[in-house]
């Protein structure tokens, strides 16, 4: 069946009833590819694109709340550098016009560029079901490649990120567009000096480099502290080798990118 709910409540009711037999459809840029490759089987579609108000971006003091249906294209010109730059590197214009934040997080890919940027912006996500809503740190959403902590009746409503930070994002891909990242990183510095660092393609999930964060939180952004943080970030990564690149290179790039991003944020 193909369901097309027009409100969040209707969507949640459907999801509650269908559970694992129902699959949310947003931009379809991951889902349809999975279906065509016969990697994903869908019994019932729950198309979210008719739900009004889920694609908004709201400023809430020093936080920015982004609706699950917000597209990458809509965020490309946001003033938050890491977010805008990450969104701008996703696929090509057609993909960015369709692909959504909710879909990006729902896919839970360690190569999700925007996921990594959001993690580095200290993101929380709002999760809803007929049972109510809950908010968790984004870094805790991901369990493994393609796996999240969402229960079969739950849906992502929005993510909320720090809007008052200097931030940066850097992606190494095999070409300039429509390229799955080989490795990428994002970082932000809060007015109070807190630092968040996200790493992509170096672990089964988009990774938050907590040891590196803690080090610079304590020692500031001196050359020495950054150097140590870069090493720590490298130690937190557990990349694999595949046809795109070796674990050795990915690990080394964790340090290189963390060093580069943090220096740029001083």
- Binding residues for another protein, per CB under 8 A? 92, 172, 174-180, 182, 242-246, 249, 252-253, 256-257, 260
Contact partner at residue 182 from ligand FAD, another protein, none, CB < 5 to 8 Å by partner kind: another protein
CB 85 within 8 A of CB 113: no
Determine which residue in the list 5, 110, 112, 198 makes contact with ligand FAD, applying CB under 6 A.
112
x/- string (CB under 6 A) for ligand FAD, residues 128-157?
---------------------------xx-
For residues 183 and 194, give the distance between their C-alpha atoms in angstroms, rounded to a whole number.
24
Contact partner at residue 11 from another protein, ligand FAD, none, CB < 5 to 8 Å by partner kind: none
Check binding of 5 to ligand FAD (CB under 6 A): no
Output the smallest distance, CB 175 to ligand FAD, in A.
11
Exposure on the CB side of residue 67, measured as CA atoms within 13 A:
16
Contact partner at residue 31 from another protein, ligand FAD, none, CB < 5 to 8 Å by partner kind: ligand FAD
- How many of the chain's residues bind ligand FAD (CB under 6 A)? 30
For residues 174 and 176, give the distance between their C-alpha atoms in angstroms, rounded to a whole number.
7
Site for ligand FAD in 168-197 (CB under 6 A): 178
The DSSP 8-state label assigned to residue 140 in this structure reads: G
Indicate the residue whose CB is closest to ligand FAD.
103
Query: Element (H or E) spanning 167, and its range?
Result: strand 166-172
DSSP for 63-118 reads: EEEEETT-BHHHHTT-S-HHHHHHHHHSS-HHHHHH-BHHHHHHHT-TT-HHHHHH
For residues 198 and 141, give the distance between their C-alpha atoms in angstroms, rounded to a whole number.
14
For residues 70 and 94, give the distance between their C-alpha atoms in angstroms, rounded to a whole number.
15
- DSSP three-state, residue 247: helix
Distances (CA, A) of 217 to 41, 157, 222, 226, 253: 45, 31, 11, 11, 22
Determine which residue in the list 14, 64, 66, 68 makes contact with ligand FAD, applying CB under 6 A.
68
Check binding of 4 to ligand FAD (CB under 6 A): no
Contact partner at residue 199 from ligand FAD, another protein, none, CB < 5 to 8 Å by partner kind: none
Pairing state of beta strands 22-25 and 44-47? parallel
Output the smallest distance, CB 198 to another protein, in A.
18
Contact partner at residue 68 from another protein, ligand FAD, none, CB < 5 to 8 Å by partner kind: ligand FAD
Contact partner at residue 244 from another protein, ligand FAD, none, CB < 5 to 8 Å by partner kind: another protein
- Chain residues in the site for ligand FAD (CB under 6 A): 23-31, 33, 48, 68, 89-91, 95, 98-100, 102-104, 106-107, 112-114, 155-156, 178
């Amino acid at each position: 069946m193909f369901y097309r709910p027009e409100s969040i409540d209707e969507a949640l009711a459907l999801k509650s009833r269908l559970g694992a037999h129902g699959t949310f459809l947003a931009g379809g840029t991951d889902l349809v590819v999975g279906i065509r490759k016969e990697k994903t089987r869908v019994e019932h579609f729950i198309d979210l694109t008719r739900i009004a108000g889920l694609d908004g971006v709201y400023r809430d003091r020093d936080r920015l709340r982004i609706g699950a249906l917000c597209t990458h294209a809509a965020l490309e010109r946001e003033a938050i550098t890491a977010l805008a730059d990450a969104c701008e590197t996703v696929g090509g214009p057609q993909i960015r016009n369709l692909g959504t934040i909710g879909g990006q997080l729902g896919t839970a890919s360690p190569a999700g560029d925007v996921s990594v940027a959001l993690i580095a912006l200290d993101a929380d996500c709002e999760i809803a079901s007929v049972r109510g809503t809950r908010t968790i740190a984004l870094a805790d959403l991901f369990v493994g490649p393609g796996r999240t902590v969402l229960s079969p009746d739950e849906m992502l409503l929005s993510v909320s990120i720090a809007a008052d930070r200097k931030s940066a994002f850097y992606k190494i891909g095999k070409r300039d567009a429509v390229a799955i990242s080989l490795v990428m990183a994002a970082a932000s510095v809060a007015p109070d000096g807190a630092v968040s660092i996200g790493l992509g393609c170096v672990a089964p999930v988009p990774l938050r480099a907590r040891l590196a964060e803690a080090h610079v939180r304590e020692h500031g952004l001196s050359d020495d502290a950054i150097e140590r943080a870069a090493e720590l970030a490298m130690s937190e990564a557990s990349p694999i080798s595949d046809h795109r690149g070796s674990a050795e290179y990915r690990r080394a790039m964790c340090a290189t990118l963390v060093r580069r991003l943090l220096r740029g944020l001083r």
